[in-house]
Structures are given as C-alpha cells and as structure tokens.
Amino acid sequence: MATSQANRSTVQADRVRRVGFTVNGQYHQFVVGSGPNEVSPSHTLSWTLRNSLGLTGTKVSCDMGACGCCTVISDGKAVLSCKVLTVECDGKTIITIEGLKDRKTGALDPLQQAFIDHTAFQCGYCTPGMIMTARAFLNDNPRPTEEEIKEALSGNFCRCISHYQVIRAIMSVAEKGQ
Amino acid sequence: MGGNYRYIGKQMPRMDAGAIVTGSALYLDDLKFQNLLHGKVLRSPYAHALITHVDKSKAEALPGVAAVLTWQDIPEWMGGTPRRLRVLDRKVRYVGDAVALVAAETEEIAEEALDLIDVEYEVLQPVLDIDSALKPGAPLVHEEYPGNIIPGGTKLLGPKCLKGLCTGDVAKGFSDADVIAEGTFGYENIPNALPAESVGAVAAWEDPDKVTVWGTSQAPYMDKVILSHVFNRAVQVRCIGSHVGGSFGTKITCWQIQTYAVLLSKATGRPVKVWLTKEEHLAAFTLRIGSRIQARVGMKNDGTITAIQGTWYVDSGYYSLTTQTQVAVGLGELMIMTQCPNWDLKTMIVATNRTASGCTRGFGGQELECSFMPLLSLAMEKAGLDPFEVLKKNYVRPGGGYFWRDGEWYQYGGIDFSKAMDAGAKQFGWKEKWKGWLTPSAVNGSKRRGIGVGVHGNADVGEDAAEAYVQLRHDGTATIFLCVAEHGTGQKSNYAKLVAEVLQIAPDRISMTPADSLVTPFEFGPVGSRGTYAIGSAVIAAAEAAKRKLFSLAAPKLGVDPGELETADGVVFARAHPEKSLKWRALGSDRTILGSGRFEPDFSLCNCLMSFVEVEVDTETGKVTLVRLVLATDVGQIMDPPGLEGQLNGCLGAAGVDSATFEETILSRSSGHILNANMIDYKWRTFAELPVIERVVLETPMPTHRFHGVGVGEVATSPGPSAVLMAVSNAVGTWLHEYPVTPARVLQALGKVAGGKGGGAR
C-alpha cells in the first residue's frame, strides 16, 4: 500500500477527470468536480485532507501560506497544504501527522516522542506543522546545527512561545541522527 | 525550595501530549456534526453608518441558503457592559461590524449569498481615536452615551467596583516630593494576542428554549453564564469546550460569534457553525484596550513615591464586555507595584469606531503599566535613581496593601518578593550593566546596547469562585469533574497531579470530564493567573472530600477511626498499623464516591514577575534587537517545570514584549480599516530571531493551598514592553515614548529622519 501508484493516477476516461495520490500509505482517487465527495478544482490539499479524508491532525490557521500550521510532507518535501491545490497532487506521496507513526509497530516517530519528552508545545495547534517541517528537514539533514534548525522552522508560527522547547526536542533527535 | 512531593513539581508528560503530537487532539474545527450548516457574517465596509435598507431576497433565493438574518429578524438580545449592545443593530460601528448573518449548506454558498445581500447605508462621521471621540460635538458611537464616554464599573464586581484610585492627600504628597514628573503617555498600538486557532462556535437549537454551544473558549461555563444573560435568561444554555488553540485571554469573550451561531440554528432548526477567517480574527474580533495616562507623579530622592494624580483614558473600541473589569483590575495592579499613600487617579472609558476591545493577557494592568512606566521613568531620571531599586522598593510587601477590583482594601498577606527580584538582578548583571539614565550599557561602533526593567503583579491569583468534583472508583481510579478546556497552560494535567498527590495514586489513574457545563459544576475558567490557586484549591478540596468519604466507608470495615486512615496506590490503611488495610476494590464495583470542592475568592495574595531586558540598537538602520531577557519570580511551589517554562517564555508573544519591539495593529485613522489584518503584514517573532531568555524562579511556600503554589502565567507578558522602551531610550540616549519602537521612531529619536508618526497611529 505504501508504494506510489503512478500507474493508477490521473485517468481521463469519458471526460471524467480524476486525481489520485497516496496519503499515509493509502491510495485515494477522487473525481474532479463540484458534486458531493468530489474534489473541486478550488480545493486546497488541507481542505481535502481535513474534510474529505478526515485527517484533522493537519491544522489550518492563516490559510494563506504565512504560518506553517498546515505543513505536510509531499514527495519528501515540507509543503504548506493550504497553498497546494488538491488537483495538483496527482501521483504524489503525502505524509501527514497521522502517518508519522511506524505503521507496523505503532511506535511514535522519534520527533513525536521528543516533543512529548520536552513538552515542546503549549496549546498544540502549531505542533503538527512543526513536527512535519522538522521531519522533512531532518530527513535531508540528520545532524543539523541549532542555527540550521531555527532557519528551517522560521516559517512556523507559534504564539505560545514554545520555540525554545521545540529546538531542544529537535536537537535531541538530531544528536542521535534520527 | 519547593516541597518534597511524589508528583507535584516533577516533570511528566502532559495528559494530552500523545494526542497533540499525533494530531488526534480535537479542536472545535476538527469536530464533525450531523446535518451541519455553515454560517457567515456580512460585515460593514464603513466605520460608522446607519443601515437604511436591506434587500436579502436574492440571497434567500440562492439554492443552498437556509437563512438570512438582519437586525429586523432577531430577538432583543443584548450583550456587553453595560448590557446594551444589540447582537445585530440598525447602526454599524466599526469596519467589520455585523450587518447580516447567513446559513447555508456550504461555506462557499454562504459566501456567495453574502454578495447577494443589497445594503444601503447612510454613512456617518466616525471617531477613530480618543482625541476625536472626546471633542465637543463629536459624533456619538452610541446615542445613549454622551461624549462617547462609557459608564465605568460593572455589576459583576459589586456596587463599589473600582473606577479610580482616590486615597490620602495628593497635595501633601506633591509638597513632600523632591521631584515631580508629568506628561501624557500611551500604549495604543492595540497589538493582537493572535492565537493560532481562530475563533468560532457551533450551536444546536432545540425548540422551544434550549441550545447547546460548542465553543473555542477555555471557560465554557462562563460562556453559558454570559449567553444566558444575552438571551434574557429565557434560554437553557449548555456549553461544551474542546482543545483550545491558544487564547491568551481573548477567547472568553466569544459571545457575539456564539450568538450568531445560535440565531442561525434557531432560524433553521439545524446545527450551524460560524468560524472566523484569519482576516476576521484580526479585524473583527476583540483587541487590546488602548491606554493613555495623563498624570503626574511625585517622588522623594530615596525613591519613595509620594503622590500620583491624573486620568487614565481607556479606548474601548466600539464596545466591550470586559473593559470596566480591566480598569478595576488594572488600577489594583498599579497599586501593587506602586505602594504610594496618596492617589487621585481617575478613569475614563472612551468609545471609538474600531473593533471591540476584549480580554487580553495582561488584562488592564499591562496596558496601564505600559503607559505609567514612561512617566515614572522621568521621575526616576530626575531623582537620579536606579529603576531596579525604585521598583523593588515600591512593590507590595507584608504590611502593605491595595484596593482591589471590588473597591475594598486588602491587607497583603503574601511573601516578600524582593528576594526574587535580587536574584533576577544578579542573574542579569543589572548592577554591572546599569550606567545611568539615557546612557548605553555598551557601545560598539554603530551598535548600542541598553537595559531596562519592569515589574508586575496581580491579585487575580485568587479571583472568582471555583468548583470541582472528584469521583473515586473501586478500581483505584479517579475522575475530575471540572469545566476547564485545555488552552495550552497544561493546567488540566496539573489538576491531575494535585489529585494524584492528595490521593497518592499515579496521575495516569486520573481522568477528566470534558469541559461541559451540563456535566461539571460552576467554574469561572482558567483566566488571569487563577488556575493554580483558585481552581487548584477547588480541585484539592474535592479530592480531600472524596478521600474523607472513602475513609468513612473503610473505617468500620477496618475497625479504626477515619482520622487514623491513609491511602496510597488504591489501598486504605491505618497510619499506625499499616497491616490493617483495605483495597478500594473492596468497597465494591457498584459504588462510586463523590467529593465536591469550592474555592471562595481571596484577594489578599498576589504574584510577581520582574523582567530585565537588554536590547541592541543599530543606529544606522534603527533596528532594535531584543538580545536577552531575565524573568524573575517566586511561585511558591512549581507544579510542572516545563509548563512553567513555557508560560514564562510566552512573555514574547500574545501581544506581550513584542508589542514594544514591532507588533502593532495598524488602524487607518481616516477610514477605520485595519490595514494589516493578515499574518504576513501583522508581524510575529520567528525561530530565526529568538532572544536569550533566562528564568529565575524561587519557591518560597505561600499561604495558598496545601501545596503552597501560585500562578504566574498571565503576568509573564506585562512588565516587558515598558522595560524595552526604557532599554531603547537608554541605548540611544534620548526618550522614546511610543510603542512599538520601530526603526522609523528610533531614527527619528536620533534625529536622523524627520518627524511624523512612525507606527500604528496614523
């Protein structure tokens, strides 16, 4: 299930346009249109994740690409799901906060565990976006400096000011190269 | 030095930690409702206008629209203080005021319907700041308030509600003074606390007179109380809270949005959700009060403050639920930090045509102190005094006292905070860095460093009644019945710790009811810094009551007196004969034990936070960099170390310290539009620009509850902004008196650019 299903992506038959992509290892295909259960060309990825797939772990705050709350990983890169149209996601492999656990063992991602251990959140609304941004970043750069972490997270808004505890949590994972 | 407890003071994962990091924590916008309609608000493009005609027929005809409501369609429901503000009115009073409400099958249809409502306005001249509102003959925001002056005082705080400070003999005070400073100083950049989660409500009406409201407030029981009044006490209201994505005080005043949802649900017979967009959140939800003080202060050469006289002007926006309370509390907070014997400080609440003011972290005290400190600084400079010493000398200590919000005098019954202040100064290196007023602490080429200090305290730690139940079950678990929605402070987990400590069972054996006013007893909510002392006391009392019942049931079975019993890990035993023991289980699975606890308000104690700040000013560019903060406090007993750290670090955000460095809501003083109502133009601090924050936390046991702690979360923000202003003034060598210290203002102060307003007041 985890593999990208490129061969099953966009099918143009009977002038019905479809969009298909993998979320957390599961392939989903939608008809593009304005009917119930269809994906409208105006739907953002965050809207589809939250409303069509019920994946409400992805939070929407500013809804204009300023705050990073809605960050998910798409083909390995951290993206703002409020600034991506769902119809643009054909063939993509997307991971949301709900898909970060180890699918076989159920174990938390080391970053999730580190956020718990360091109480790296207060209200928690920005936390999924923080974790997804950090996960994509650490995948590319497993042993960053503190300054690099700050730079990587500089698009993530946190109003409670949990930044200091977030940096400690991410550094604790980075030091283990996880 | 804190007490030696099994759970309290120990770091442990928050109860909701797993849910938060996996995305399963449910906030209001994550909940699913059957048959839900979406509500949207048509908002006024004018700051001040009469609605002369509305044609909603095209909107009503749009397929998918279930209801369109205007002021003509709704009951006589009113809110605010005084409770005279109609939910929808024939008059609009700020850019963004509600004109009509729409409920439709989808958000898109509701938005489309808004465009189809034809509204004709008679545009009126607005008053957009205190000066124009108070001009003789100025247009009236509300016809019933001549001069745009809103009555002070609120029934909530009793007949003597504090509306000013008048005590002693100010004439004598000024004649005793060695220096007198006077002037007008403001904190009027109306920064937005801006929680990440927006504000919303879902309402489900049941004919004839019941409604359930799911809200974004951290205090659902108070939502119920407030809404009951709005509905003329003729509707049975149930309020339910979820996880709250930050509040910083603001979300306890969601009554308008909740009422929109209720009206639409009542009109359609279906549940309706109203959810503010971020633009609405920034431009049509409550903001900080604007604050301006015109006053003079007398001081002796030894730092004794002898007299304070003047007027505190409060810009309330077009209306408010909380301003009168903020004025009352703010005055008391000023007295806590300024133990002066002679006062004549009047207040005036002014209505202007901008969005409503509401509760914001700092709650009156921060706004007043940010206005007052520049004035006090002038006096301290004249007397050549070190501000740290003056603030320490004048802070309340045993033997002192203050008038509080109810107009009563309270003899202070707490600890001496000067030890914490000294520890903070030492950590900061205040004595080494302080070089005198308007003198940088260091100069390096075009970069100059300056330091500042502020202090703040609040007797809200014991404000308002709190109630809780604790239920014990035979399996050795307990449930806390409490109407508190988790909004980030981690207090719900702390309450589990308190109960765990009383009952000596692990916190993971303790669960908590949803914050549902139908299930729980009354609770005012986690606002101010009352969570630890006020709510904590009710929770502890409930656990103790449950424990007493447990012992009275177990005692006959063990053949001992209940007073001889203890419990730990789900076992009751005799203190002197531990072999005489009984598992909770032995009481039977067909029994639960319920204890109830109540806390009565106590204003004799306060908290204290002193902030030391160091800034670096680039005299070429005018940029101010906050380099380092030291926060000093005494909390009696730490409940949860990382939670406390988070609350203290929170000083930067939520319209706190950064309201002095760069945050401001930019209100057009000609049209009344908010010009930066989005998260790109409203600036916020990023990871890339974090100052060093150090926390100095003492634990001197306090006479609060059996664990001796006191809350400090709310005041973390308050002393910082004025300390930044002081630090920047010292760095550049001339006074800066306006918030925030933008590069334009700094360069202007340095004489490098011409005058003109550099910030939000344009």
The 3-state DSSP composition of chain B as helix, strand, coil percent (nearest 5) reads 30, 25, 45
Average pLDDT, chain B: 97
Instruction: Give the domain B17-26+464-599 fold.
Output: Aldehyde Oxidoreductase; domain 4 (3.30.365)
Which pLDDT tens digit goes with each residue over B438-466? Answer: 999 999 999 999 999 999 999 999 999 99
Which pLDDT tens digit goes with each residue over B381-415? Answer: 999 999 999 999 999 999 999 999 999 999 999 99
For B290-385+394-406+419-455+607-749, the fitting CATH number among 3.30.365.10, 3.20.20.80, 3.40.50.300, 3.30.750.24 is 3.30.365.10
Contact criterion met (CB < 8 Å) for A164 and B24: no
pLDDT at B391: 98
- Enumerate the residues of chain B whose CB falls inside 8 A of the CB of residue A53: none
Query: Could you tell me where the beta strands, DSSP code E, fall in B477-525?
Result: 478-481, 510-512
- Enumerate the residues of chain A whose CB falls inside 8 A of the CB of residue B247: 123
Beta strand B466-473 pairing with B447-456: unpaired
- At residue A160, the 3 state secondary structure works out as coil
Contact criterion met (CB < 8 Å) for A66 and B26: no
Which pLDDT tens digit goes with each residue over B63-89? Answer: 999 999 999 999 999 999 999 999 999
As beta bridge partners, residue B201 has B215, B274
Question: What proportion of chain B, given as a percentage, has pLDDT over 90?
Answer: 98
Mean pLDDT of B235-258: 97
Q: Alpha-carbon distance B96 to B674, whole Å?
A: 9
Residue ranges of alpha helices (H) inside A63-162 are 110-117, 127-140, 146-152
The domain A6-98 having CATH identifier 3.10.20.30: the answer here is yes
A34-38, B197-201, B429-433, B586-590, range with the lowest pLDDT: A34-38
Contact criterion met (CB < 8 Å) for A116 and B30: no
- At residue B329, the 3 state secondary structure works out as helix
Q: Alpha-carbon distance A24 to A130, whole Å?
A: 18
pLDDT at A4: 43
pLDDT at A14: 60
Residues 6+ apart with CB under 8 A from B233: none
Q: How close B310 gets to chain A, by Cα (Å)?
A: 35
Which pLDDT tens digit goes with each residue over B480-519? Answer: 999 999 999 999 999 999 999 999 999 999 999 999 999 9
Interface test with A, best of B10, B15, B20 (most A CBs within 10 A): B20
A150 has a chain B CB within 8 A of its CB: yes
Beta strand B343-350 pairing with B165-167: antiparallel
Which pLDDT tens digit goes with each residue over B269-318? Answer: 999 999 999 999 999 999 999 999 999 999 999 999 999 999 999 999 99
* Residue B363, phi-psi category: left (phi > 0), alpha (psi -120 to 50), beta (remainder): left
Residue ranges of alpha helices (H) inside B359-428 are 365-383, 387-394, 418-428
pLDDT at B1: 57
Residues of chain B with CATH 3.30.365.10: 17-26+464-599, 290-385+394-406+419-455+607-749
Cis preceding-peptide flag for B740 (omega within 30 of 0): yes
The answer to whether residue B756 scores a pLDDT higher than 90 is no
Mean pLDDT of B525-538: 96
Q: Alpha-carbon distance B648 to B644, whole Å?
A: 6
Instruction: Say which of B22, B488, B645 has its CB closest to residue A57.
Output: B22
A29 has a chain B CB within 8 A of its CB: no
Total-model pTM = 0.96
ipTM of the complex: 0.97
Q: How is residue B133 written in tokens?
A: 């509102």
Residue of A nearest to B650 (CA): A161
pLDDT at A36: 82
The answer to whether residue B720 scores a pLDDT higher than 60 is yes
Q: Alpha-carbon distance A176 to B403, whole Å?
A: 56
Contact criterion met (CB < 8 Å) for A159 and B244: no
In CATH, what class is B33-124+193-283? alpha beta
pLDDT at A1: 38
A30 has a chain B CB within 8 A of its CB: no
Q: Alpha-carbon distance B654 to B635, whole Å?
A: 22
Q: How close B26 gets to chain A, by Cα (Å)?
A: 8
CA dihedral for B88, B348, B380, B301, sign (positive or negative): negative
Cα(first)–Cα(last) distance of chain B, in Å?
50
H/E run at residue B296: strand B290-299
Which pLDDT tens digit goes with each residue over B651-678? Answer: 999 889 999 999 999 999 999 999 999 9
Which pLDDT tens digit goes with each residue over A22-45? Answer: 999 999 999 999 888 899 999 999
| Residue B737 identity (one-letter amino acid) | H
Q: Where residue A175 falls among pLDDT bands split at 50, 70, 90?
A: confident
The answer to whether residue B762 scores a pLDDT higher than 70 is no
A127 has a chain B CB within 8 A of its CB: yes
pLDDT at A37: 86
A153 has a chain B CB within 8 A of its CB: yes
Q: Alpha-carbon distance B291 to B678, whole Å?
A: 24
A169 has a chain B CB within 8 A of its CB: no
Mean pLDDT of B716-736: 98
pLDDT at B758: 44
* Superfamily of the domain at A110-174: [2Fe-2S]-binding domain (1.10.150.120)
Q: Alpha-carbon distance A33 to B533, whole Å?
A: 56
| Residue B286 identity (one-letter amino acid) | T
- The answer to whether the CB of B213 falls within 8 A of the CB of B203 is yes
Mean pLDDT of B172-188: 98
Domain regions of chain A by residue span: 6-98, 110-174
Which pLDDT tens digit goes with each residue over B116-161? Answer: 999 999 999 999 999 999 999 999 999 999 999 999 999 999 999 9
- Enumerate the residues of chain A whose CB falls inside 8 A of the CB of residue B192: none
- The answer to whether the CB of B637 falls within 8 A of the CB of B3 is yes
The answer to whether residue B761 scores a pLDDT higher than 50 is no
The answer to whether residue A6 scores a pLDDT higher than 80 is no
